[in-house]
Amino acid sequence: MSPILEIRDLSVAYRTPDGDVRAVEQVNLTLNAGEVVGLCGESGSGKSTLAYGATRLLRPPAVVTGGSVLYGGRRITQGGDPADLLAMDQRELRAMRWREVAIVFQSAMNALNPVLRIQDQLLDAVQAHLKLSRHDAREKVASLLDLVGIPRTRLRSYPHELSGGMRQRVMIAMALAADPEVVIMDEPTTALDVVVQRDILSQVVELKETLGFAIMFITHDLSLLLELADRIAVMYAGRLMETGSSRDIMRDAAHPYTMGLLNSFPALHGPRRTLAGIPGSPPDLRNPKPGCPFVPRCPHARPACAEVDMSLAPVSGSAGAGVPGVVSHLTACPFVTPQMSQEGQASQEGVLS
Amino acid sequence: MASSVVASTANIWRNLPVKAKVGVFLFGFFVLAAIIGPMVEPYDPGFQNTAANALSAHPSAQHLFGTTQLGQDVLSQVLTGIRLTLELALLVGVIVTVISVLVGVTAAFLGGIWDDVLSLLTNVFLVIPALPVLIVLLGYLPQQGQTPTILVLSLLGWPWGARVIRVQTLTIRNRDFIAASRESGEKTWRIIIFDIIPNEISLIAASFVNTVLYAIGASVALAFIGLTDVNSWSLGTVLYWVQQDDAVQSNAWWWFVPPGLAVALMGVSLVLLNSGIDEIGNPRLRASRASAKVAGHRIWPTDPTPVYAQLAAERSRLGSFLHSFSRSSLYDETPAGSELR
Amino acid sequence: MSFILRRLAFYLVAAWVAITANFFIPRAVPGNPIAIILSKYPNLTPQAYQALSQMIGGSLEKGSLWSQYVHYLDDVVHFNFGTDLANFPTPVSTLLDQALPWTLVLVGTATVIAFAIGTTLGILAGWRAGGGLDRSLPFLMFFQAVPYFFLALLLVDFFAVQHHWLPPGGGYNGEITQPGWTWSFISNAIEYSTLPALTIVISSIAGWMLQMRNVMITTIGEDYVVAAQAKGLSKARIIYTYAARNALLPQLQGFGLALGFAVSGALIMEIVFGYPGIGLLLLNSVTDKDFPMMQAILLVIVFAVLIANLVVDLIVAFVDPRARAREAV
């Protein structure tokens, strides 16, 4: 499986008069064709910045300060080498947007133009990239709505006339308008209630199976990813803490932060426990201290943490990295094993109950 | 406590755009002129120098701005005019700001029928054009002078501020910390004074500046058409006499340019001041100014996010030399990926 | 539809407030209006004084305050403003009819032109915030701060006195042509309106431009513009259909609010240029203490502004799909 999107050593910073805010720091992430990769982290962890920075949609004062974003879709590379999004000029980027990489934004109400009808907004997306006759374009737009289960009568509606769930479906339909290879979903269901959420997500999975695109799913809700994603990457303070298959993360979480996240939501079955959560708050990204940013909130913190270089290494006891066909389970914390993580968490709970 | 106030003021000053700083200095100049005017003016504005060559005379050492048709010193008139106009405008500004804060906050806080009534009142006063009403009101009054002008200007100037303050108060009122204050039993008036108003300072300041601007414009206009006391020497009155005595036709530019310019510059300084206050209050405006330049390159809103390596490569040698003088060169010295200052 | 009805109701209320204020003010101010008139116009017939008392109050009025008010309302609705004092016995409405078209054409055209150009420039300045056009703003703001009439004086000085390119004042050259639908009159009138119109446009353009620029900057920060970028749409489409079309809505609403100011400034300008419109009429009536005329002009101006505001509201309702669902007042 060759990767369709490969983010290498990406760093993004915001230039402010008070100094640079390093929102993303040397992140490596790979997305294979047809795969669902979940990107998980709390607000301010840099997950959205990562996605928008990789697609170069961030506004000034954001700057990409290093790395490369290699896109391997066949339409662009035509069998040759992957193209670096960071090296493209405006024209090439514009051709690539939506056709190769599409985005489903977080708040559909804000992401839809309030004064345009749904039909016109979808037509925009279609006609910017596909050379279709007017009639064909309209037919395509109508079929997009069919795809997400919205009645065609809604074509002439304005965004404010639709319900939240419908708007989000429209956003998804719009993302699929040009048959992309990669769809980035930025917290698409956060603002919706769980029933609608379930509906939409199962529809997304169905569409993925049918149309064959890869998904980068960004959310703060790890429980969602455990079900939905093939692989999960956990971010904190602009850095990756842990990556692995969803099974690995669920069963053998190696990083204390991941463990903290896992224990922040209750299980439906089993005895009632006090939720542990993670005390404290994310660090100031303007003056990052050396070493691991999670130190102030980590139950396993020790003096050596200040010298960790934050590169990802295979989790001890997992199948070795680089073995073909095996998804590697990597962690940034060299001191903690999955077992220690689980014990530490249990003792935390003990303290709180 | 005081040192942090000083520090944050200094910080605000540093981040103000150039145009706002110009506005502050310019306005300060006029305030200074108003204060020392009476001590400095060479003649009484009404004094007529009836020497033959002193009528409508060009600027000279004796009369720095020349004289009017009646031999009066233009400079003295302008100085007195600045003082009178500023006094009136600042007074109106204070009165109107007080009224609009009262109305705006009350409407937002009491809500319900009171809000509806006050809002209706505000909107009605807003939509009715002020100047014609002012003209007619002054026409009905038997005597003319500063006081009726002040009253009449205040009567019609408050709705703008009231509307904006009401909206802002409504927004703040629904925030959690207000609810917290209420829950803990804080008296309403205390909440208003200590929680709400400090959060609206930039809005109230902007409203005050706008009102002063409006008061200057309206009072000068009214004086110009002769509806206020034609024997006092406000800037508008000076211009009234300019019009009456056909200064334009006789090309006595030294007579009508200084007072008009004074009004214009006072107005400009206030507008610039206001743009500074705008940027303090609306972070998006500030962000757009501070962020459009990265590494010496101008980045437009719909440009793709710049990549540092690309940017750094594109600057020419001359460009680099010039760039080293700018503030952003401090941030750009470091290569990609490693320690950023 | 209900949005429009609600706005209409609001304007009716505002009109009623203006009419009622107009009724009460002469009765409420210190001094006796009738006495003033008596002293200024000693040659009026007793019936004339009677009629005047009905209108503005004073010792000669008969009937209760309420009956006078009703009578007054009736007069207003029928556009019966009484007889003019300064040009006795011409009815006020005749004089108004002569002056009104001049003002409407001049002020209407100039304001719309200034708004259109200013808004367009504002779109460009907002899009390129910090760029060349944007940096010219303080320069233009200077013109906004200059009092209308001062700018008028300067322009008259330059164009009329020093260079004799354009006439310094008046509405038309009475020696050459007479009012009527003839080309000679119209072209002459255009020549005479050029300076006043130019003054209005120059002094107000910066205001519109600044307002639109600020609204554009805020709008560009909205998510749907980022989404439009992400969709790979062309720049033109993003600027106009996504950013400017949304920014126009607050801009139009601002236009409605600023109409009152625009009208006020234009009136002063007419006075400077001796332009035969309502502004000049108003000033003369105030100086002459010609109360019936004053009242009538005030009402006409207020009504015109209210109607213009209503038209703007209609346009906004047409352009903004959400306005129909929103609160009116």
**pLDDT, tens digit, 9 for 90 and up, residues A210-221:** 988 999 999 988
Judge: C260–B251 Cβ closer than 8 Å, yes or no. Answer: no
Q: Which of A263, A309, A316 is nearest to A290 (CA)?
A: A309
- Looking at per-residue confidence, does B63 or B76 come out higher? B76
**Best CA proximity match to A188, nearest among A221, A160, A159:** A221
pLDDT at A173 over 90: yes
pLDDT band for position A183 (50/70/90)?
very high
Give contacts of A94 with chain C, Cβ < 8 Å.
232, 234
Question: What's the pLDDT at C280?
Answer: 85
**A-chain residues near C247 (CB < 8 A):** none
Instruction: Tell me whether domains A3-229 and A235-348 share a fold.
Output: yes
Confidence of residue C60 (pLDDT cuts 50, 70, 90): low
pLDDT averaged over every residue in chain C: 80
Average pLDDT, chain B: 77
Domain ranges of chain C: 99-287
CA dihedral sign, ordered B171, B176, B180, B183: positive
- C175 pLDDT band, cuts 50/70/90, is low
Q: What is the DSSP letter of C30?
A: S
Q: State the pLDDT at residue B341.
A: 28
Per CB-CB distance under 8 Å, the chain B contacts of C309 are 127
CATH architecture of the domain A3-229 equals 3-Layer(aba) Sandwich (3.40)
CA pseudo-torsion sign C36, C37, C41, C43:
negative
Q: Give yes or no for a contact between A300 and A259, defined as CB atoms under 8 angstroms apart.
A: no
- Contact yes or no for B271 and C144 at CB 8 A: yes
Q: Which of the four pLDDT bands, split at 50, 70 and 90, describes residue A339?
A: confident
Alpha carbon dihedral A150, A152, A156, A162, in 10-degree steps, equals -20
CA distance B163 to chain A (A): 25
In one letter, which amino acid is B2?
A: A
Q: Residue A123's pLDDT is what?
A: 92
Of B294, B310, B337, the CB nearest to A11: B337
The span from the CA of B136 to the CA of B153, in Å, is: 12
Q: Is the confidence at residue C58, as pLDDT, over 60?
A: no
- Tell me which range, A57-61, B309-313, B329-333, is most confidently predicted by mean pLDDT: A57-61
> How many whole angstroms separate alpha carbon C295 and alpha carbon C51?
14
Residue-wise pLDDT tens digits, A88-100:
888 888 888 898 9
List chain C residues with CB under 8 Å of B289: 129-130
Closest Cβ opposite residue B307 in set A15, A59, A64: A64
Q: Among A181-185, B285-289, C86-90, which range has the highest average pLDDT? A: A181-185
Residue A331: what are its φ and ψ, rounded to 5°?
-140, 155
B290-312 in b/e form (b: 16+ CB < 10 A) is bbbbbbbbebebbbbbbbbbbbe
Question: What is the pLDDT, as a whole number, of residue A317?
Answer: 67
In B217-246, the residues whose Cβ lies within 8 Å of chain C are: 217, 220-221, 224-227, 239, 242-243
Which pLDDT does position C328 carry in this prediction? Answer: 39
Most confident segment among A50-59, C175-184, C202-211: A50-59
Which subunits sit against B, judged by 3+ Cβ pairs under 8 A? Answer: A, C
Determine contact: C315 vs chain A, CB below 8 A: no
Q: Give the end-to-end CA distance of chain C in Å, rounded to a whole number.
A: 14
Give the pLDDT confidence of C254-279 residue by residue, as tens digits. 888 788 888 888 888 888 888 888 88
pLDDT at A231: 93
Q: How far is CA C141 from the centre of its chain?
A: 21
Find chain B residues with C-beta within 8 A of C154's C-beta: 257, 260
Q: What are phi and psi of A241, to 5 degrees?
A: -100, -40
Q: Is the pLDDT of residue B46 over 80?
A: no
Chain B residue with Cα closest to C308: B127
Burial class (CB in 10 A: 0-12, 13-18, 19+), A255: buried
Partner-chain contact C301 B132, CB within 8 Å: yes
CA distances from B203 to A251, B152, B194 (A): 54, 24, 16
Q: Is the dihedral of CA B256, B257, B258, B261 positive or negative?
A: positive
Which tokens hold the place of B108? 């937002």
pLDDT band (50, 70, 90) for residue C45: confident
Lowest-pLDDT range, A38-47, A57-66, B265-274, C46-55?
C46-55
The predicted structure's pLDDT at residue B91 = 92
Domain ranges of chain A: 3-229, 235-348
- Cα–Cα nearest to C267, from C308, C311, C301: C301
What's the mean pLDDT in C2-16?
A: 86
Q: What pLDDT band is residue B337 in, cutting at 50, 70 and 90?
A: very low
pLDDT band at B338 (very low <50, low <70, confident <90, very high): very low
Asked if the Cβ–Cβ distance from A90 to B304 is below 8 Å, we say: yes
8 Å CB contact of B128 and C18: yes
Is residue B114 predicted with pLDDT exceeding 50? yes
- Name C3's Cβ contacts closer than 8 Å, sequence gap at least 6: C317, C323, C324, C325, C326, C328
DSSP H or E run through A68: strand A62-71
Residue C171 contacts residue B244 (beta carbons within 8 Å): no
A235-348: CATH topology: Rossmann fold (3.40.50)
Q: Token pair for residue C265? A: 């400034």
Residue of chain A whose alpha carbon sits nearest to that of C231 = A98
List of chain B residues whose C-beta atoms are within 8 Å of the C-beta of residue A15: 291, 294, 328, 331
Neighbour-count burial of C302, counting CB atoms closer than 10 A to its CB (0-12 exposed, 13-18 middle, 19+ buried) = buried
* C-alpha to C-alpha distance for A262 and A256, rounded to whole angstroms: 10
Cross-chain residue pair B284–C217, CB shorter than 8 Å: yes
Q: Which of A17, A52, A60 has the CB atom closest to B15's CB atom? A: A17
C-facing residues of A in 286-325 (CB < 8 A) are: none
Residue A61's alpha-carbon distances to B131, B286, B298, C191, in angstroms, are 45, 12, 11, 51
Answer yes or no: do C225 and B220 touch at CB < 8 A.
no
- Burial (CB count <10 Å: 0-12, 13-18, 19+), residue B18: exposed
Please answer whether residues A84 and A68 qualify as being in contact, where contact means their C-beta atoms are separated by less than 8 angstroms. Answer: yes
In this prediction, residue B144 carries a pLDDT of 66
- The two three-digit tokens of residue B317, written as one number: 């040698």
**Phi-psi group of A85: left, alpha or beta (phi > 0 → left; psi -120 to 50 → alpha; rest → beta):** alpha
- Span B178-217, pLDDT tens digits: 677 767 777 777 777 777 777 788 888 889 998 998 899 8
Q: Angle between the B18-40 and B74-110 helix axes, to the nearest 10 degrees?
A: 130
Q: Does the pLDDT of residue C188 top 50, yes or no? A: yes
Asked if A65 and B305 come within 8 Å (Cβ–Cβ), the reply is: no
| Chain A residues within 8 A of B291 when measuring between CB atoms | 15, 59-61
* Interchain CB distance below 8 Å, C321 and A158: yes
Model-level pTM?
0.80
Contact by Cβ (8 Å): C282, B152:
no
Beta carbons of B306 and B299 less than 8 angstroms apart = yes
Q: How confident is the model at residue B292 (pLDDT cuts 50, 70, 90)?
A: low
Instruction: Give the C window 268-297 contacts with B, CB below 8 Å.
Output: 268, 271-272, 282-283, 285-287, 289, 291, 294-295, 297
Q: Is A23 helix (H, G, I), strand (E, B) or coil?
A: strand
Q: Which residues of chain A are within 8 Å of residue B308 when distances are taken between CB atoms?
A: 63-66
* C-alpha neighbours within 13 Å on the C-beta side of residue B11: 9
Q: What is the spatial distance between Cα C106 and Cα C108, in angstroms, rounded to a whole number?
A: 6
Bridge partner list, C91? C83
Of C323 and C12, more confident: C12
Question: Nearest-CA distance from B137 to chain C in Å?
Answer: 8
Query: Residues of B with CB below 8 A from C130's CB?
Result: 288-289, 292-293, 298
Q: How confident is the model at residue A230 (pLDDT cuts 50, 70, 90)?
A: very high
Tokens of C318: 């047409």
B274 neighbors B206 (Cβ within 8 angstroms): yes
Residue range B146-153: mean pLDDT, rounded: 82
Q: How far is CA A52 from CA A25, A62, C219, C230, in A?
A: 14, 10, 19, 9
Backbone angles phi, psi at B37, to 5 degrees: -45, -60
Q: Which two tokens stand for residue C196?
A: 């006043």
**CATH assignment of C99-287, among 3.40.50.720, 2.30.30.140, 3.30.565.10, 1.10.3720.10:** 1.10.3720.10
- Give B61-67's long-range contacts (Cβ < 8 A, gap of 24+): B65/B254, B65/B255, B65/B258, B66/B252, B66/B254, B66/B255, B67/B255
Contacts of A64 in chain B (CB under 8 A): 305-308
Q: DSSP labels for B31-66?
A: HHHHHHHHHH-SS-TT----SGGGTTPPP-SSSTT-
CB contact under 8 Å between B225 and C268, yes or no, is: yes
Q: Bridge-partner residues for A37, per DSSP? A: A216, A231
A240 SS3 class: strand
Nearest to C147 among B124, B263, B288 (CB): B263
- Which chain B residue shows the shortest CA-CA distance from A58? B305
Tell me which of B135, B222, B284 to substitute to probe the interface with C (most C C-beta atoms closer than 10 Å). B135
Contact at 8 Å (CB) between C95 and C294? no
Q: How crowded is the C-beta side of A312, counted as CA atoms within 13 Å?
A: 25
**Percentage of residues in chain C having pLDDT higher than 90:** 5
**Mean pLDDT value of segment A230-241:** 92
Q: Going along chain B, which residue ranges are E strands?
A: 293-294, 297-298
Q: What are the helix (H) ranges across chain C?
A: 2-28, 33-40, 46-56, 65-77, 92-127, 132-135, 137-145, 148-155, 183-220, 223-230, 235-237, 245-273, 278-287, 291-319
Among C85, C29, C27, C83, smallest CA distance to C58 is for: C27
Listed by number, the residues of chain A in 170-199 with a beta carbon closer than 8 Å to a beta carbon of chain C are 174
Residue given tokens 């981040």 in the structure block? B15
CB pairs under 8 A between B and C: 182
Which residue in A116, A129, A157, A176 has the most chain C C-beta atoms within 10 A of its own C-beta, making it the best mutation to test that interface?
A116
Q: Using only the alpha carbons of chain B, give its radius of gyration.
A: 26
Query: What is the DSSP-derived secondary structure letter of residue B307?
Result: B
Which overall architecture, per CATH, does domain B18-49+64-289 show? Orthogonal Bundle (1.10)
Give B181 to chain A, closest Cα distance, Å: 25
Q: What is the pLDDT of residue A353?
A: 35
For residue A67, the tally of other CB atoms under 10 A from its CB is: 24
- Reply yes or no on whether the pLDDT at A78 is more than 70: yes
pLDDT value of position C61: 56
When pLDDT is averaged across residues A178-192 and rounded to a whole number, the result is 89
* pLDDT value, residue A15: 80
Diameter over CA atoms, chain B:
80
Mean pLDDT for A125-136 is: 90
pLDDT for residue C209: 87
Q: Report CB contact under 8 Å: A63, B291.
A: no
Give the highest mean pLDDT range of A285-289, B269-273, B307-311, C22-26: B269-273
Task: Give the mean pLDDT of B23-45.
Answer: 83
Asked if residues B160 and B99 have their Cβ atoms less than 8 Å apart, the reply is no
Whose CA is closest to A172, among A217, A128, A136, A127?
A: A217
pLDDT of residue B231: 74
List the single residue in B291, B310, B341 with the smallest CB-CB distance to A60: B291
Under an 8 A CB cutoff, do C321 and A114 touch?
yes
